[in-house]
Structure 1
């Protein structure tokens, strides 16, 4: 930093994108300088000579691509990285997240260069939240993640009414994909509650995220569709561009509601948690992980007010503490735990929920 102001490195092979991203970032009062380079080799030289506080990175570049650069960076000089990726590159983005990228911003696919100004607010917000962050603890958690519990195939369908035992809603934003996966990967196939994941993410990316959770946890996981049933052993990921509500019992199906103009958080954690509280009452369990803003604070308070159980990730393991902090401040959180302790507490609370007598 220079007098408390940020130094940023922009890595993109498009001269127009470099120019526009630099202009967007220089509008920020807390940014002192923005250096631009066109490929990974130049980025390595820039990091070695003048270490930035944050890097924005395009993945598809000549000479040295973004992935090769990321591997070098995280092994030799870990720094916060925000990928600025073209829409349609969801597999590449998740690969980058596995390498230590904190978050991503999607460039419009059609006329991407001319429309790059559309990402201005999102890019500025994410850069401001993550610049200068100590990467060592985050990378340590990525590398020390325990292997997924052995997958056990369960024959037959869930028992009639099994879904009425309760529901687990997990909400996350910035830094969320790896955190959500880590939490769910440590739950057993015998976990008794259906799971809904609300991750702030654009359309298309949520489908890929659902598939990843299916490969890296013991659960059947998918992007939610209108009318899907909530059943134990299944994880439903709320699709980008929609909000999810739960229909009343005994059906326990889900209803997708298209986002409205001006919606701040999409998908909304508040909407899904509030719906869970209304339907399941004391049998609802809400978990709020890393993320910017205050989404989830109101919905989690409704769960707790209904007699349900709530957990928030503690500041020490979050990428951004904004959402858990907001929920703690408004009294919505029953217990605050580091990421590696959350799965065990979820299991314990779920067992307690299943022992509750019917109202």
Structure 2
């Protein structure tokens, strides 16, 4: 069955352009269009699409408010179209908070240029998200005390952060401003470290590295907001995002978390209880001159993903060997699989998010199918294990 899509945009040009691009794919059926948020809600209820492409700024009702109402009254998978600006990043994060699954840049020049890469990216995202059942599962990860459409906490974007303990007040300071391992696919969570009482625990490691893509912002928020301030390990985060988005996203997470979260800068130190988010457009590795420092490099055009999970995984494998806990979360594609092979050769521990709690079971599935996952865990189980670790 084709993925049924509702297109929402106040621009006639974009409605027609998106419709033309999607209609050329036999996997997709455009079932309707709407020019504002109010119409989008009505169409979502009557047409019951598998996916909605949603503009942000529209008359009568904007896209963010429409997403909130849709997720409350008729949960549907939603792909936001957003500009790659600071303001575009801010409102996109708000849309993800409201319940949208993912976003795609809205650049007039690119959309007018008949780009093959843009066409493929749009179609693939629509098909993958349209086939996902995540909208119906969303309430599993939302705050029970809040509306079921909320994935993120609802504090204002620039709200002041809750006071941290004195020991965590200076954690933002920085020092200065492949080979093919083959084995049978993992069938069960067989190598979870356990305490003497049989409880699943974080293994002995020097760093925790988490990679994610589509659906990652919500999954990362779910995990990081539950980690205690005295978490004994540094955390590296690689989320597929452009530059304007990673700075806003890191700030947003820092406001919500007990641990410190920041967009990584060249020379940042690895510290317990601090998470460093790889900046969009760049690669984040361990500085080969000192394993307690981060090095940020400009993205190589030969690499599809900037930042890339593979690059960071490979770097920590080289620097820390088996003393790594690598976690691969929801996302399209297979980024992280090659890096996981290098980690596995060093004896590191690798956990993958399970299919049922993923928005898109692409990146974890690649690791699992390659036989590299020591455990396949539900998101709630990942949260439980990591949140119980204290120094």
| 8 Å Cα contact 1:98-1:142 kept in structure 2 | no
TM-score scaled to structure 1, two decimals? 0.88
Partner of 1:154: 167
* Matching residue of 2:92: 93
Aligned equivalent of 2:49: 52
Corresponding position of 1:64:
61
Q: CA deviation at 1:274?
A: 1.0
Counterpart mapping for 1:13-24 below 5 A: 13-24=10-21
* In structure 2, distance between residues paired with 1:72 and 1:44: 7
- Cα–Cα, structure 1 residues 306 and 12, in superposed 2: closer, same or farther, change >3 Å? same
Partner residue, 2:74: 77
For residue 196 of structure 1, report the CA deviation from its aligned partner. Answer: 0.7
SS in 2 for 1:248: coil
Deviation at 1:211, TM superposition (A): 0.7
Match of 1:192 among 232, 243, 257: 232
Give deviations 1:183-216, integer Å, cap 9, x for gaps. Answer: 1112111111111100001111001111111111
Partner of 1:136: 136
Tell me the secondary structure at the aligned position of residue 141 of structure 2. helix
Report 1:243-254 matches (<5 A): 243-248=283-288, 250-254=290-294
Q: Deviations over 1:29-67 (max 9, x none)?
A: 211334222111222222233221110000100011112
2:328 aligns with: 288
Distance in 2 separating the partners of 1:113 and 1:14 = 13
- Distance in 1 (alpha carbons) for counterparts of 2:168 and 2:29: 60
Contact 1:206/1:238 (<8 A) preserved: yes
Superposition pairs of residues 1-359 of structure 1, within 5 angstroms: 4-88=1-85, 89-108=88-107, 111=109, 114-115=112-113, 117=115, 119-134=118-133, 135-144=135-144, 151-154=164-167, 166-248=206-288, 250-346=290-386
Contact 1:247–1:255 (8 Å) recurs in 2: yes
Structure 1 pair 282–346 and aligned structure 2 pair: CA distance change class (3 A)? farther
Q: Measure the CA separation in 1 of the matches of 2:119 and 2:323.
A: 41
Distance 1:69 1:98 in 2: 13
CA contact (8 A) 1:229 1:251 kept: no
The change in CA–CA distance for 1:59 and 1:287 in structure 2 (over 3 A counts) is same
Whether the 8 Å CA contact 1:174–1:291 is kept in 2: the answer is: yes
- Distance 1:40-1:245 versus aligned 2 partners, 3 A rule: same
Structure 1 residue 338 displacement after superposition: 0.4
Q: Distance in 2 between matches of 1:72 and 1:200?
A: 27
- CA pair 156-62 structure 1, distance change in 2 beyond 3 A: closer
In structure 1, C-alpha distance between the alignment counterparts of 2:291 and 2:130, rounded to whole Å: 46
Considering Cα pairs closer than 8 Å and 6+ residues apart, tell me whether 1 or 2 has the greater RCO: 2
Q: Which moved more, 1:136-145 or 1:299-308?
A: 136-145
Structure 2: 5+ residue stretches without partners: 145-150, 154-160, 172-203
Closer, same or farther: CA 113–76 of 1 in aligned 2, 3 Å: same
Q: Greater helix share, 1 or 2?
A: 1
- Which range moves more in the overlay, 81-90 or 131-140? 131-140
Q: CA deviation at 1:259?
A: 1.7
Mean Cα deviation higher: 243-252 or 232-241: 243-252
C-alpha distance in structure 1 between counterparts of 2:111 and 2:291, whole Å: 47
Instruction: Say how many residue pairs are matched.
Output: 342
Q: Is the 8 A contact 1:100 1:142 kept in 2?
A: no
Partner of 1:357: none
Distance 1:319 1:340 in 2: 14
RMSD: 2.5
Shift of 1:326: 0.5
What is the alpha-carbon distance in structure 2 between the residues aligned to residue 16 and residue 112 of structure 1?
Answer: 13
